[in-house]
Amino acid sequence: MIKDTINSTARRIPAWLVYTVGILPAAWFLYEGLTGGSGADPIKALEHELGEFALKLLIVGLCITPLRKHLGVNLLKFRRAIGVMTFVYVVLHLLVWLVLDVQIVSQIWADIVKRPYITVGMVGFALMIPLALTSNNLSVRKLGVRWRKLHKLTYGIAFLGALHFVMVAKGIQLEPLLYMAVVLGLLALRIPKGTLQIAGRFTAKSVDN
Amino acid sequence: MAYRWKNTLSDNDVTDHSLFLNRRQIMAGAAGLGLATAIGGPRAALAQEALEPNSFEDISSYNNFYEFGTGKDDPAKNAGALTTTPWTVTIDGMVDKPGEYDFADIMAKMTVEERIYRFRCVEAWSMVVPWNGFELKDLLDLAGVQSSAKYVAFETLYRPEEMVGQKFPTLEWPYVEGLRLDEAMHPLTIMATGIYGKDIPNQNGAPMRLVVPWKYGFKSIKSVVKITLTDKEPPTSWNIANAREYGFYSNVNPEVDHKRWSQATERKIGGGLFAKRIPTLMLNGYEEDVASLYEGMDMSVNF
């Protein structure tokens, strides 16, 4: 079965490979920006590519549990590396915004406070910091159950990330809405079955199917 | 009447592309010096230093033309599908000679001249574009504007089979824009039909697009098929989409921020990954020419 092939392959792939392979797109985006490959405004391009890649990684990270639960595909060993790389991409995205894009220190703070899409993005980033800090074995051991609870923040972060993308778009654009739909879909998979059945009793038809 | 306004931006010939690249390098150095002297000096000095037309490549590859997709490179990729011949422009409303005007006939009657203008996008980036075009006034005079007319409404082509972006409701299609009549008649306001002496590329609004250099780029409606003279302020696409963020006037103004970002500075396209932001000029540097149009108006209310 495909499932078993994936699982046995995954067992042979070391998790550290996620870090080395994961950083390659960032290197590529930077190279493209420096050599004119990313168009006339390489700053915006780089900023956008890093942000979108972070969102992709968030989505991949959110897929791990449902894949195991519903399809029996076990990629759990890669989850931490994916999470850490998501944080790395968000930091790079933020750095490009600060250093290359906005440039002006007084404007940075004004933007964070005054512009809702940036506020949303910054809150998402702030919520990632405790997750990044506790992404080591010691923290997992020390925090125990609380570690799992803490890392449920990922759900909120993913939502804020997608919302940030939706809010930054001018007009109604398809791409950010698709990201939002995927994130919401993956979050919906986490709603315990019972909750849906209870909710179903209050609505005309069952949401369960 | 053509030639009512003269370029002061650059007297240099803009046709030779290789010369440009050389000049650009010289200018890069000069801009650095200019920056130092401009700190205490007037803003115009800085702007003058930075006025170097963008390359044809930049101008024709980095576009907002949502009829062909929302990515900056989408118009260059998708606008090839657009047929621009034959092309007719309907001029109607409060005019003496309403009707369908053939683009070729219009061109035969118009005097095309070069205008090197700053182009400031509402997204806080900018370019300098050497347009070829004619004054909008000349076209309106052809149709004979009646004295009751107060505004001019414009409409872009609606042809979803050739304009893929129109298949998705990013905005309400067709794209519409509008100017007050005095803005439309101003010598700075042109209909552009070319860039760098070549026919205007489809992605830049072929065969004919409005250029109002003191307003944010989205006011300069592309691929125009209809011009209506009216006595009421016409609806405009971005205002319909989001009235809180986009007003009818949309004059470039560093003191009135967009709801989601500052308009105080801009980044000139073409400066690479480490391009510095430059201050945005009041009315995009055309304050002397057009400020009188808005005398007594509160620009932060009529944004």
Indicate whether B288 pLDDT > 50: yes
Task: Say if residue B204 carries a ligand binding annotation.
Answer: yes
> Does B12 belong to an annotated binding site?
no
Asked if residue A209 belongs to a domain, the reply is no
Residue B198 β-bridge partners: B195
Helix axes A42-71, A79-95, angle to 10 degrees: 160
Which chain A positions have a beta carbon within 8 Å of B123's beta carbon? 170
Q: What distances in angstroms separate CA A146 from CA A124, A131, A134, B4, B267, one per listed residue? A: 20, 12, 11, 74, 46
Nearest to B169 among A43, A167, A172 (CB): A172
Q: Tell me the per-residue pLDDT of A79-129, one tens digit each, with 9 for 90 and over.
A: 999 999 999 999 999 999 999 998 888 888 888 888 889 999 999 999 999
Give contacts of B262 with chain A, Cβ < 8 Å: 107, 110-111
In the beta sheet, which residues pair with residue B180? B151
Give the pLDDT confidence score for residue B34 in this predicted structure: 42
How many structural domains are present in chain A?
A: 1
B116 marked ligand binding residue? no
Specify the pLDDT at position A166: 95
| Rounded distance between C-alpha atoms, residue B223 and residue B89, angstroms | 10
Residues in chain A: 209
**Beta strands, E only, chain B:** 88-93, 99-102, 113-120, 125-135, 151-156, 176-180, 190-195, 198-199, 209-211, 224-230, 265-268, 277-279
pLDDT in tens, A44-59: 999 999 999 999 999 9
Q: Does residue B195 have a pLDDT over 60?
A: yes
C-alpha distances out from residue A13 to A88, A179, B24, B183, Å: 21, 28, 51, 66
Q: Would you say residue B48 has pLDDT above 70?
A: no
Q: What is the percent of chain B where pLDDT is above 90?
A: 81
On whether residue A126 sits in a domain, the answer given is yes
What whole-number distance in Å separates Cα of residue B127 and Cα of residue A20? 38
What is the rounded distance in angstroms from the CA atom of residue B247 to the CA atom of residue B240? 9
Check the annotation: does B230 bind a ligand.
no
**In chain B, whose CA is at the least distance from the CA of A96?**
B273
Q: Give the predicted TM-score (pTM) of the model.
A: 0.84
Pairing type for strands B209-211 and B190-195 reads antiparallel
**What was the pLDDT predicted at B33?**
43
Round to the nearest angstrom and report the end-to-end CA distance of chain B. 30
**Contact list, B170 vs chain A (CB under 8 Å):** 171-173
R_g of chain B, CA atoms, integer Å: 19
Judged by CB atoms closer than 8 Å, whether chains meet at B61 and A34 is answered as no
Which residues of B fall within a CB distance of 8 Å from A111? 261-262
Partner residue opposite A104 with nearest CB, options B58, B257, B277: B277
B241 CA: distance to closest CA in chain A (Å): 7
Distance CA A86, CA A53 (A): 8
pLDDT single digits (tens) B229-248: 999 999 999 999 999 999 99
> Alpha-carbon distance B71 to B61, whole Å?
11
Query: Higher-confidence residue: B214 or B24?
Result: B214
Rounded CA-CA distance A167/A173 in Å is 10
Q: Chain A residues within 8 A (CB-CB) of chain B?
A: 33-34, 36, 39-44, 46, 100-104, 107, 110-111, 114-117, 167-175
CB A153 within 8 Å of CB A143: no
The answer to whether the peptide bond before residue B234 is cis (omega within 30 degrees of 0) is no
Residue A47 structural domain: 2-204
pLDDT of residue B38: 39
Chain B residue with the nearest C-alpha to that of A176: B70
Whole-angstrom distance, CA of residue A74 vs CA of residue A132: 23
In the prediction, which pLDDT does A201 show? 61
Domain-located, residue A194: yes
Q: Do A40 and B264 touch (CB under 8 A)?
A: no
Band (pLDDT 50/70/90 cuts) for residue A74 is very high
> Taking CB atoms and an 8 Å cut-off, how many pairs form between chains A and B?
69
Average pLDDT over residues A141-145: 92
Tokens of B147: 């004295």
CB under 8 Å, gap of 24 or more: what pairs does B69-77 form? Answer: B69/B164, B69/B165, B70/A169, B70/A170, B70/A171, B70/A173, B70/A174, B70/A175, B70/B165, B70/B170, B72/A39, B72/A40, B72/A41, B72/A44, B73/A39, B74/B165, B75/B202, B75/B203, B75/B204, B76/B201, B76/B203
What is the amino acid identity at position B269? I
Backbone angles phi, psi at A85, to 5 degrees: -65, -35
| Cα distance between residue B15 and residue A67, in whole Å | 59
pLDDT greater than 50 at residue B21? no
pLDDT tens per residue, range B259-277: 888 899 999 999 999 999 9
Provide, as residue numbers in chain A, all residues whose Cβ is less than 8 Å from the Cβ of B257: 114
Look at residue A150 and tell me if it is in a domain. Answer: yes
Confidence of residue A38 (pLDDT cuts 50, 70, 90): confident
Question: How far does B232 lie from chain A, in Å, by closest CA?
Answer: 25
The answer to whether B66 faces chain A, any CB pair under 8 Å, is yes
Q: What is the pLDDT of residue B2?
A: 83
The pLDDT value recorded for residue A202 is: 57
Q: Taking residues B54-70, what's their average pLDDT?
A: 96
* Interface residue B142 vs chain A (CB under 8 A): no
Which of B57, B264, B274 comes nearest A100 by C-beta? B274
Question: ipTM of the predicted structure?
Answer: 0.79
* Averaged pLDDT of chain B: 89
Question: Is B156 annotated as ligand-binding?
Answer: yes
B77, B239, B260, B267: best mutation site toward chain A, by most A Cβ within 10 Å?
A: B260
Report the pLDDT averaged over residues A155-181. 94
pLDDT confidence of residue A142 = 92
Task: Look at residue B213 and tell me whether its pLDDT is greater than 50.
Answer: yes
- Out of 3.90.420.10, 3.30.230.70, 3.30.1340.30, 3.30.70.890, which CATH number does the structure's domain B11-294 have? 3.90.420.10
More confident position, B34 or B273 = B273
Smallest CA-to-CA distance from B269 within B118, B69, B132 is with B118
State the average pLDDT over residues B165-176. 95
The predicted structure's pLDDT at residue A36: 85
Least Cα separation, residue A53 to chain B (angstroms): 16
Per domain, the residue ranges of chain B are 11-294
CA A143 – CA B20 distance, rounded (Å)? 63
Please indicate if the annotation marks B15 as binding a ligand.
no
Bridge-based pairing state of the strands B190-195 and B125-135? antiparallel
Give the span between the Cα atoms of B245 and B64, in whole angstroms: 17
Q: Is some CB atom of chain A closer than 8 A to the CB atom of B170?
A: yes
- Cα three-residue angle B143-B145-B146, rounded to 5 degrees: 130
B290 burial (CB, 10 Å; 0-12 / 13-18 / 19+) is buried
- Minimal Cα distance from B242: which residue of A? A171
- Residue-wise pLDDT for B106-165, tens only, equals 999 999 999 999 999 999 999 999 999 999 999 999 999 999 999 999 999 999 999 999
- Find, among B152, B158, B153, the residue nearest to B174 by Cα: B158
Query: Using a CB-CB distance cutoff of 8 angstroms, which residues of chain B are in contact with residue A173?
Result: 70, 170
Note the pLDDT tens digit of each residue in B67-81. Answer: 999 999 999 999 999
CB spacing of A36 vs B272 below 8 angstroms: yes
Judge whether B168 is closer than 8 Å to chain A, CB to CB.
yes
Of B209, B190, B193, B202, the C-alpha closest to B136 is B190
Neighbouring-strand partners of residue B156: B224
Report whether B222 belongs to an annotated binding site. yes
At A71, the amino acid letter reads: L
- For residues B80 and B203, is the Cβ–Cβ distance under 8 A? no
pLDDT at B253: 97
Which of A34, A107, A116 lies closest to B273 in CB terms? A34
Provide the edge-to-edge strand list for the sheet that holds B99-102: B99-102, B88-93, B224-230, B151-156, B176-180
Among A31, A35, A41, most B C-beta atoms within 10 A, so best to mutate, is A41
Contact B171 A34 (CB under 8 A): no
B-chain residue closest to A111, CA distance: B261
**B154: β partners:** B177, B227
Give the model's confidence band at B29: pLDDT under 50 very low, under 70 low, under 90 confident, else very high: very low
Q: Note whether B194 and B129 are within 8 A (CB).
A: no
Identify the band that residue B35 occupies on the pLDDT scale cut at 50, 70 and 90.
very low
What pLDDT is attached to residue B194? 98
Average pLDDT over residues A65-69: 94
Average pLDDT for chain A: 90
Asked if residue B92 lies in contact with residue B149, where contact means CB atoms within 8 angstroms, the answer is: no
